[in-house]
């Protein structure tokens, strides 16, 4: 059965690009979101998130009548759920958004439909979603008990890079985790509408674990680099030089340290594995702890630089200006969510009695969290006014600063830009 009408539930960083590419292939796409502002913006042909090239695709799709947004689920042939899956205070995954989304589509489901969960989820979440749907619709047969079903369900995680979503959505290989082989086959048919990468079929539990594994792999490897940076600081060794040398080994590829790990994926998803396997996931838990502890360590480095600055300059602490370079959670983007650079800037500004400046070329206004304690300035002003420089994000603009302009002897460089 072909997919003439496709519904995407959750029109955020993942759902909206997905809806837009299906629509660009001439499908009738109904986007559903509880956020009225998002729905109204999309229906005007605009976008409410920042992602290169997305605006053009959405504008065209809405203009051509292929994409429409609404707050209420409507009948469709396939449903893709891309709602948030945060963790709760105790690092347990919060599936309440997935449950609400599943229950919202249950009344409009019909025999022959396909339901795909795309949200990053703990192992077993797809089976749980199938249970919620089965409880809501006794008249339909779901795949819990094998291929004798008339609604197919699959888990298909997203692995796009923010900033390159419109390219990677089409190009990346896709893990297709059907609850049964027939579910996988049908989900592959759906993605092949736009996918140029390969559909690699497996079962739902493996696909769920695959997404968590990818981000845990990154987190553990960054934690290794971050731990090395602590050890090297103690031993008087330049960690950047060390890693470059070690990476000359043909089978060594150490990642780069930084002020911590941020964003809403790598810093979150490993906890889903830890929550389900508290006794077994020891390395994954420690990696999270190492990365989460890094901002406080950076603050300690700044405190040491301040002590040296006070001794050498004869100034009082409240006469010293500290400039932080960067707030985003990674280079060359404006996304400040879960950013360790934000955390470091906040820790510095909260502790320091003197002036704290922030240079962040990707934002035009100081974020609310820092508004009372720090001042947003240009790169030039930060370099001219600061006694202590703290490099937090290796934006291209910071890498382009000539070394001749770095005259301060007191530097904390978490990204190795000024090594």
Interface with ligand NAD: number of residues (CB under 6 A): 26
| Residues 329-348 within binding reach of ligand NAD (CB under 6 A) | none
Residue from 6, 8, 14, 123 binding ligand NAD (CB under 6 A): 14
> With respect to ligand NAD, which residue has the nearer C-beta, 177 or 416?
177
Does 415 show up as a binding residue in the annotation?
Answer: yes
Residue 11 as a binder of ligand NAD (CB under 6 A): the answer is yes
Measured from the CB atom, the residue of 119 and 226 that comes closer to ligand NAD is: 119
- Complex with ligand NAD: residue 38 or 299, whichever CB lies closer: 38
SS3 content of the chain, % helix, strand, coil (to 5): 45, 15, 40
Residue 211 bears catalytic tag: yes
Q: Is 265 a catalytic residue?
A: yes
Residue with the CB atom nearest ligand NAD in the bound state: 12
The first and second tokens of residue 295, run together, are 């901002």
DSSP summary character for residue 140:
S
**Within 76-95, which residues bind ligand NAD (CB under 6 A)?**
82-85
249 annotated to a ligand binding site:
yes
Contact yes or no for 280/385 (Cβ under 8 A): no
The one segment of 7-15, 176-184, 351-359, 397-405 that binds ligand NAD by CB under 6 A: 7-15
Residue closer to ligand NAD (CB basis): 24 or 85: 85
Cα-based angle 172, 46, 161 (whole degrees, multiple of 5):
20
Binding residue per annotation — 218? yes
| Dist. CA 79–CA 85, nearest whole Å | 17
Look at residues 118, 16, 12, 11 and name the one whose alpha carbon lies nearest to residue 58.
Answer: 16
- Distance, in Å, from the CA atom of 214 to the CA atom of 220, rounded to the nearest integer, reads 10
3-state secondary structure of 261: coil
**Terminal-to-terminal C-alpha distance of the chain:** 59
* Residue 13, marked binder: yes
Q: C-beta of 104: minimal distance to ligand NAD in Å?
A: 6
Interaction of residue 274 with ligand NAD, rule CB under 6 A: no
List the interface residues with ligand NAD, window 198-257 (CB under 6 A): none
* Phi, psi for residue 319 in degrees, rounded to 5: -100, 0
**391 touching ligand NAD, by CB under 6 A:** no
- Report, in Å, the least distance between residue 96 CB and ligand NAD: 9
Has 365 been labeled as part of a binding site? no
- The SS3 of residue 172 is coil
| Contacts by residues 165-171 (CB-CB < 8 Å, ≥ 24 positions apart) | 165/13, 165/14, 165/17, 165/51, 165/54, 166/17, 166/21, 166/51, 166/52, 166/53, 166/54, 166/57, 167/53, 169/17, 169/18, 169/21, 169/194, 170/21, 170/194, 170/195, 170/196, 170/197, 171/196, 171/197
Per CB under 6 A, 133 contacts ligand NAD: no
- Cβ closest to ligand NAD, residue 88 vs residue 307: 88
HEC states along 175-222? EEEECCHHHHHHHHHHHCCCCCCCEEEEEHHHHHHHHHHHHHHHHHHH
Binding-residue pattern over the window 25 to 64 for ligand NAD, x denoting contact by CB under 6 A: -------xxxx--x--------------------------
Q: Binding to ligand NAD (CB under 6 A): which residues in 157-196?
A: 158, 160, 162
Measured distance CA(396)–CA(125) in Å, rounded: 40
The residues binding ligand NAD (CB under 6 A) are 9-15, 32-35, 38, 82-85, 97, 100-101, 104, 119-120, 158, 160, 162, 265
Binding residues for UDP-N-acetyl-alpha-D-mannosaminouronate: 159-160, 211, 215, 218, 249, 251, 262, 329-330, 415
Binding residues: 13-14, 33, 85, 126, 159-160, 211, 215, 218, 249, 251, 262, 329-330, 337, 415
Report the catalytic residues: 211, 265
């Amino acid at each position: 059965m072909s997919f003439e009408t496709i519904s995407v539930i959750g029109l955020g960083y993942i759902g909206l690009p997905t809806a837009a590419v299906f629509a660009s292939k001439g499908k009738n796409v109904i986007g559903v979101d509880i956020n009225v502002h998002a729905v109204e913006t999309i229906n005007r042909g605009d976008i409410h998130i920042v992602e290169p090239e997305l605006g053009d695709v959405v504008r065209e799709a809405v203009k051509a009548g292929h994409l429409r947004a609404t707050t209420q689920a409507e009948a469709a042939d396939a449903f893709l759920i891309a709602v948030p899956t945060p963790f709760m205070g105790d690092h347990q995954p919060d599936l309440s958004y997935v449950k609400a989304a599943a229950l919202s589509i249950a009344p409009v489901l019909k025999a022959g439909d396909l339901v795909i969960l795309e949200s990053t989820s703990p192992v077993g979440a797809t089976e749980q979603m199938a249970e919620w749907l089965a409880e809501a619709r006794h008249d339909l047969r779901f795949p819990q008990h094998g291929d004798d079903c008339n609604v197919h369900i699959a888990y298909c995680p997203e692995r796009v890079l923010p900033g390159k979503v419109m390219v990677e959505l089409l190009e990346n290989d896709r893990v297709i985790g059907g609850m049964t082989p027939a579910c996988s086959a049908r989900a592959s048919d759906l993605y092949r509408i736009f996918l140029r990468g390969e559909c690699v079929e497996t079962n739902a539990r493996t696909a769920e674990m695959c997404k968590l594994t990818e981000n845990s792999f990154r987190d553990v490897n960054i934690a290794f680099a971050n731990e090395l940076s602590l050890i090297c600081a103690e031993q008087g060794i330049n960690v950047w030089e060390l890693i470059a040398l070690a990476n000359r080994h043909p089978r060594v590829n150490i990642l780069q340290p930084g002020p911590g790990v941020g964003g809403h994926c790598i810093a979150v998803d490993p906890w889903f594995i830890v929550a389900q396997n508290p006794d077994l996931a020891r390395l994954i838990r420690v990696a999270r702890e190492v990365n989460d502890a890094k901002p406080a360590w950076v603050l300690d480095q700044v405190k040491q630089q301040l002590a040296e600055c006070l001794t050498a300059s004869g100034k009082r602490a409240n006469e010293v200006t500290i400039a932080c370079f960067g707030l985003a959670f990674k280079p060359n983007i404006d996304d400040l969510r879960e950013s360790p650079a934000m955390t470091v800037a906040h820790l510095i500004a909260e502790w320091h009695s003197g002036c704290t400046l922030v240079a962040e070329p990707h934002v035009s206004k100081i974020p609310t969290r820092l508004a009372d304690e720090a001042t947003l300035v240009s790169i030039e002003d930060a370099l001219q006014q600061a006694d202590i420089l703290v490099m937090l994000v290796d934006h291209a603009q910071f890498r382009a600063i000539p070394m001749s302009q770095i005259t301060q002897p007191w530097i904390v460089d978490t990204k190795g830009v000024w090594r």
